[in-house]
């Protein structure tokens, strides 16, 4: 790791010490807009609406937490998702208002200055900063050369940065579960953050990419309650990943009625029927797309006529064809049946012929005995 250089200026601006409430007002967010966001956050976290003022109060008083964003084996789609917004929404400003001290894509600094910013943020906020990771990284046994930053292996950078962190948020399916880099045959030996970080809380915000509102929601909850959200079996916040796409899908009534699109341009597709037969993985996918939608609540894949790919679930790349129904197994069952059938048929013919031979030879093999011989035996 490059040694910290005292000649670099402190990358943290004075704004770092403003409270969130002050920052929002400076950015022109109205009290009404802010409270609306708090109410939405309360409902997302399954809290009673009466909690909204408490959230507002807590958020207003909250100090900007330092956030270090590490990008490893990723496509930057997660960052694209978080920064793409049609108008400056409150969620956006929440992001602006956290102290994002290190982010490859978004920071102006480069080279040693960038690394210096990370080290400074770590030193000044030891034990308090949040680490956001997007992308998987080569695991312990893998060649670290598959992904390095400033000559530092992803593994060393993660472990070094996480050592004094309050918590780690793995953003996107690659960071949460390994994603595309980990897909079979996983040439770079990619692993997820939670495979390596064992002594700090890891929150997985999966999705390829995840919904922007989910990460701001997790941050808002952390700022409000000073603790991390309730998590599911994959360490995902239950508030966003508690229900399946299928259960909240507006096309669900068509599934229940047995009305399905069978091709992308048939009557069913035109009428907006269920996409199960076109490969929708909604029944096994837990995410908030169906309720929160994308692009400022404009639409979401299923509404656009595309089956859910199940991108927020582990190993979704290897879970069978995207356009095969959920009940269709990966692999070629027809070939298995054919090969097994040949073996079975051969065994059957063999057994049948052996039986015939036994029946035929029964006559010639039959030994006769005389009465005398029998009496001798008795």
> What residues pair up with 67 in beta bridges, in sequence order?
100, 130
Q: Smaller CB distance to other proteins: residue 46 or 347?
A: 347
Binding interface with other proteins (CB under 8 A): 232-234, 244, 246-247, 255-260, 276-277, 283-284, 286, 313-315, 318-320, 324-331, 333-334, 336-337, 339-341, 343-345, 347-349, 351-353, 355-356
Q: Smaller CB distance to other proteins: residue 65 or 279?
A: 279
Q: Smaller CB distance to other proteins: residue 140 or 351?
A: 351
Could you tell me if 319 and 330 are in contact, meaning their C-beta atoms sit under 8 angstroms apart?
yes
Pairing outcome for strands 190-191 and 137-138: antiparallel
- For residues 297 and 287, what is the distance between their CA atoms, to the nearest angstrom? 15
Q: Smaller CB distance to other proteins: residue 89 or 243?
A: 243
CB of 62 to other proteins, least distance (A): 33
Q: How distant, in Å, are the alpha carbons of 134, 186, 191, 346 from that of 139? A: 15, 11, 5, 47
Q: Look at the chain and count its residues.
A: 378
Three-class SS state of 286: strand
Q: Where are the beta strands (DSSP E) in the chain?
A: 66-71, 99-103, 130-134, 137-138, 148-149, 152-153, 167-171, 190-191, 202-205
Q: Smaller CB distance to other proteins: residue 116 or 277?
A: 277
CB of 52 to other proteins, least distance (A): 29
Q: Which of 319, 317, 322 is nearest to 186 (CA)?
A: 317
CB of 132 to other proteins, least distance (A): 23
CB of 231 to other proteins, least distance (A): 13
CB of 361 to other proteins, least distance (A): 15
């Amino acid at each position: 790791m490059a040694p910290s250089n005292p000649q670099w200026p402190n990358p943290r601006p004075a704004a770092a010490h403003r409270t969130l409430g002050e920052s929002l007002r400076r950015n022109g967010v109205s009290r009404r807009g802010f409270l609306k966001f708090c109410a939405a956050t309360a409902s997302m976290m399954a809290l009673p609406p009466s909690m909204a003022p408490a959230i507002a109060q807590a958020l207003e008083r909250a100090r900007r937490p330092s956030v270090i964003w590490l990008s490893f084996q990723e496509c930057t789609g997660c960052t694209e998702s978080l920064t793409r917004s049609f108008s400056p929404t409150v969620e956006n400003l929440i992001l602006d208002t956290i102290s994002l001290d290190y982010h490859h894509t978004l920071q102006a600094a480069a080279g040693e200055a960038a690394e210096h910013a990370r080290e400074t943020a770590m030193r000044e906020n030891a034990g308090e900063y949040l680490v956001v990771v997007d992308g998987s990284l080569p695991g312990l046994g893998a060649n670290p050369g598959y992904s390095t930053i400033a000559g530092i292996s992803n593994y060393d950078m993660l472990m070094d940065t996480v050592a004094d962190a309050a918590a780690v948020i793995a953003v996107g399916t690659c960071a949460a579960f390994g994603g595309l880099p980990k897909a079979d045959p996983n040439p770079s030996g990619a692993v997820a953050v939670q495979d390596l970080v064992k002594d700090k809380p890891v929150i997985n915000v999966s999705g390829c990419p995840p919904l922007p509102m989910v990460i701001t929601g997790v941050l808002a909850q952390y700022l409000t309650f000073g603790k991390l959200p309730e998590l599911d079996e994959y360490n995902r916040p239950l508030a966003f990943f508690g229900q399946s796409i299928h259960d909240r899908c507006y096309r669900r009534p068509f599934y229940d009625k047995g009305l399905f699109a069978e091709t992308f341009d048939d009557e069913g597709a035109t009428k907006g029927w269920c996409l199960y037969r076109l490969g929708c993985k909604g029944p096994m996918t837990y995410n908030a797309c169906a309720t929160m939608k994308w692009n400022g609540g404009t639409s979401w894949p299923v509404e656009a006529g595309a089956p859910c790919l199940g991108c927020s679930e582990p190993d979704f790349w290897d879970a069978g064809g995207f356009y095969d129904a959920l009940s269709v197994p990966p692999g070629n069952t027809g070939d298995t049946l054919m090969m097994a059938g040949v073996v079975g048929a051969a065994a059957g013919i063999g057994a049948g012929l052996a039986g015939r031979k036994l029946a035929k030879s029964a006559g010639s093999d039959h030994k006769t005995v005389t009465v005398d011989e029998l009496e001798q035996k008795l």
